[in-house]
Structure 1
């Protein structure tokens, strides 16, 4: 498979991020949520491994302003980008009826929501239904309900992001992606809370 071109990030786009995770199946991503990117309606919890939605949120004028923060959408990114290899993490969903989970370019626009552009790849849950989202196009996913925990499997070289049923140990749906630079875990939340679990080995069945 031909190598994908790598886009070079500007310094202000990557400054403050943790070291890149590179390597093979044995290099597992371990990340926390990056508070600098969190929209003002999101609070980080559990030592920055989880996020909770606040309906009123924080007064945007009280939140430190920086170019990394999402301004219009309730989105937060992980703090550890990957540039190669296979990586797996899980998400526990609590009391949420509308959320998005996936991956995004580390320097995607902070004025857009994940799933509406060609620089993010997500699985969305809303109105009791799942969809795969890319460039604002949605594909219904029929063979999953509302599990308490799901997994995400990212294969950088193969250009794939997959949703995994943790309880059934099975792959649910795969999005074909074109990763061209550093990619980070990405989360959107409009009610309830999400808790992330990283530093996990890639399951053998994947």
Structure 2
């Protein structure tokens, strides 16, 4: 079992937030040119699956690779196909499509999870890092019944946000905006500003329960212009 996974579980048992730990931010590493995705999304209505090649050994994909479930024991890392794109220290998986421009919207259903992260990350983000701990990822995290906006190993607590079963994610590449969306109203709960300089992938971290992604959706009319 990877040391970071052991630390993460210890933190949950002792009531500490893993995000409060000092995490060394690793510079982005260049991955082999063999990366292959369905397509490069520059318009709207992004449609993606989860990329098994990036999935940590404790994560199982299901429902035609649109959902992910956390397995406490998971697979023995030595039995997982050796792939430089795979996260081996953190329970993270990327979406299968790179985003190089445009405005995109997708939703995530959360089931039986008390600790997860969702957002975007640079396609070539270092696999030794966890999403939200470096300048190459922008995510919204949920742990200890609280939401936070996370990037560059910094956390901004979000106030008056419960735990909805389904949330939306809005990405405006050119505007440098990532937003968490209340799907019932719908409206933006909180947004993160960033400088997107290269291809991005939808990114997910999961430490219990399961997540189901819903892509290929049109952006709600109430969000247009936000």
Q: Smaller-chain TM-score range?
A: over 0.9
Task: Give the match for residue 30 of structure 1.
Answer: 47
TM-score where L is the length of structure 1: 0.92
Report the CA distance between 1:103 and its aligned residue. Answer: 0.2
Q: Give distance in 1, aligned partners of 2:207 and 2:153.
A: 18
Is 1:17 the counterpart of 2:37 in the alignment?
Answer: yes
Report the CA distance between 1:13 and its aligned residue. Answer: 4.9
Report the CA distance between 1:16 and its aligned residue. Answer: 1.7
Report the CA distance between 1:143 and its aligned residue. Answer: 2.2
Alpha-carbon RMSD: 1.3
Is 1:137 the counterpart of 2:154 in the alignment?
Answer: yes
Task: Give the match for residue 11 of structure 2.
Answer: none
Higher relative contact order (CA 8 A, sep 6+): 1
> Number of residue pairs matched?
195
Report the CA distance between 1:17 and its aligned residue. Answer: 1.6
1:89-118 superposed Cα distances (whole Å, 9 cap, x missing partner): 000000000000000000100000000000
Equivalent of 1:94 in 111, 114, 128:
111
Q: Give distance in 1, aligned partners of 2:163 and 2:35.
A: 37
Task: Give the match for residue 25 of structure 2.
Answer: none
Task: Give the match for residue 177 of structure 2.
Answer: 160
TM-score where L is the length of structure 2: 0.84
Q: What stretches of structure 2 of length at least 5 have no aligned partner?
A: 1-28
Task: Give the match for residue 3 of structure 1.
Answer: none
Task: Give the match for residue 4 of structure 1.
Answer: none
Residues 190, 13 of structure 1: alpha-carbon distance in 2 compared, 3 angstrom cutoff: farther
